[in-house]
Amino acid sequence: MTRDEYATEDEDRLVRSAADGEDLAVEAALRPRDLGEFIGQHRVREQLDLVLRAARARGGTADHVLLSGAPGLGKTTLSMIIAAEMNAPIRITSGPAIQHAGDLAAILSSLTEGEVLFLDEIHRMSRPAEEMLYMAMEDFRVDVVVGKGPGATAIPLELPPFTLVGATTRAGLLPPPLRDRFGFTGHMEFYGTGELERVVHRSAALLDVRVTEGGAAEIAGRSRGTPRIANRLLRRVRDYAQVRGDGVITDDAAARALAVYEVDERGLDRLDRAVLDALLRLFGGGPVGLSTLSVAVGEERETVEEVAEPFLVREGLLARTPRGRVATPAAWRHMGVEPPVPGGNGGQEGLFGP
């Protein structure tokens, strides 16, 4: 690679970094500041409000909180709201960043009284750190081991009372001893279209963008039940309306913009449609193995399994069976593809009818 090519690559990297930083800044600006501003998750909000009010009335720290649910539903936002409601500072880290017990000990020993520690993807924390966390959560104490072998010594370290807020997308991977130490567990549900419309209107007001009822409904209907996606689509539709329209987000402007960004009327993106297209056209609707399907769409197995599949299954467009992935009748209709004649679809009629 020439010097000029290296320079161009560096410039592109800087542009991407600046764009990512801008998106993060916008996301932070759109986050609700308290439970009253937080839209949706009524049951979790009510329960969490009781926990926090009681803790403030006692003058102590709040119980440890575990939030589970799919990405983008507001777990990080709620952790920040918990800190704000308790008038306490917050420290943010993640499970993958804590690979040794010493990493966790360094974080815990530097906490101040009442501080909120937000631990994202808590199920990905290493086992030694996890075992240290048990004692820290229950007794506000950790044992720091100094030395190795027979001469090793455990030095007890007292910790100030703190509140741990753990977030996970896979609650089933948490060991029972860790899960049982949380005083409150809240499961975040996917949002309804009406709630997402409220999210779009609120975010549009903060971004100083005009959006009609139809425009908000169009964006909400394609947001996969997730506020983070709704806000991202809103920003992209805003760009389209400013460049190719009069700056107002109408239903027509939203539909045209999202067509440019390859998001269809049900919220399926390029990867989702590629998976369904390969499943239908190349494999007759299945069943087909995940590895084979991943190769067909040119993506890693984990990407198809963790990014595309959950939404396709939830939408009733794909099913997981012991024999492999199978397209449902709704998938054929949505993609506008004629299914094979009965008896020629690899036995799919035995699963979903002829």
> Which residues does the annotation mark as catalytic?
75-76, 120, 169, 228
Determine the Cα–Cα distance for residues 219 and 152; give it in Å rounded to an integer: 60
Distances (CA, A) of 267 to 148, 220, 259, 276: 55, 9, 11, 14
The single residue listed with the structure tokens 């240290």 is: 132
Give how far the C-alpha of residue 172 lies from the chain's centroid of Cα atoms, to the nearest Å.
Answer: 16
Determine the Cα–Cα distance for residues 145 and 153; give it in Å rounded to an integer: 6
Determine the Cα–Cα distance for residues 65 and 183; give it in Å rounded to an integer: 6
321 with 328: CB under 8 angstroms? no
Determine the Cα–Cα distance for residues 236 and 233; give it in Å rounded to an integer: 5
Which tokens belong to 193?
Answer: 């279209």
The single residue listed with the structure tokens 């593809």 is: 337
Determine the Cα–Cα distance for residues 350 and 121; give it in Å rounded to an integer: 39
| Concatenated DSSP letters of 171-209 | GGGS-HHHHTT-SEEEEPPPPPHHHHHHHHHHHHHHTT-
Q: Exposed/middle/buried for 247, CB within 10 Å: 0-12, 13-18, 19+?
A: exposed
